[in-house]
Amino acid sequence: MKKINILFETDEDSDQINITIRASKMDSQVSQIIESLKNTTPEKFTVLDADKCPCVINVSDIFFISAEGKFMRIITEAGIFTAKQTLQTFEQLLGKYFLRISRFEIINLRKVHKYDFTIVGTLRIEFENGMETWASRRYIPLIKERLSGEEEYLC
């Protein structure tokens, strides 16, 4: 195992976090570091409650996120919240336990109770809390591919 040195540099002109990995070659240790960085998911988000006051929610409490105009509607165990981030931003941040099912929705795979593939080719998704949503037909092949590789998500 190679020694790992971590260096932090401040860049006041940047609004992003850039990570550079420098090594003599790509090996299993480097690959493992890259994978762990890719799979980093925040545990909490700051969102707006019904009164438009900021509050913090646990990512694990999210059932699904849907786009409504300029805001995202976030359905959780504690209620409904809103956020100004884009759906694409949430999709990038949330990681492997979340899946886009349409242009307007992302679901938490850990909160799904049942997938119902109908005869006519549609997909109804039922959550643990009894709520349901439908996947867009154009996303169904991607959903099937993702679910077939992830047996832990199937009921």
Q: Which residue segments constitute the domains of the chain, with CATH numbers given?
A: 44-153 (2.40.50.1020)
% pLDDT > 70, the chain: 93
For residue 9, what pLDDT is reported? 85
Q: Per residue in 127-155, pLDDT tens? A: 999 999 999 989 999 888 888 876 554 44
Q: Which long-range contacts (CB under 8 A, 24 or more apart) does 125-128 make?
A: 125/101, 127/63, 127/64, 128/63
Q: Per residue in 21-79, pLDDT tens? A: 888 998 988 888 887 777 666 688 889 999 999 999 999 999 999 999 889 999 998 89
For residue 94, what pLDDT is reported? 85
Mean pLDDT score of the chain: 86
What is the bridge-based pairing of β-strands 105-108 and 62-68?
Answer: antiparallel
For residue 152, what pLDDT is reported? 52
Three-state secondary structure along the chain?
CCCCCCCCCCCCCCCCCCCCCCCCCCCHHHHHHHHHHHCCCCCEEEEECCCCCEEEEEHHHEEEEEEECCEEEEEECCEEEEECCCHHHHHHHHCCCEEEEECCEEEEHHHEEEEEECCCCCEEEEECCCCEEEECHHHHHHHHHHHHCCHHHCC
pTM over 0.85: no
For residue 135, what pLDDT is reported? 93
Q: Per residue in 100-133, pLDDT tens? A: 999 999 999 999 999 998 877 789 999 999 999 9
| Whole-number Å distance between alpha carbons of 80 and 73 | 7
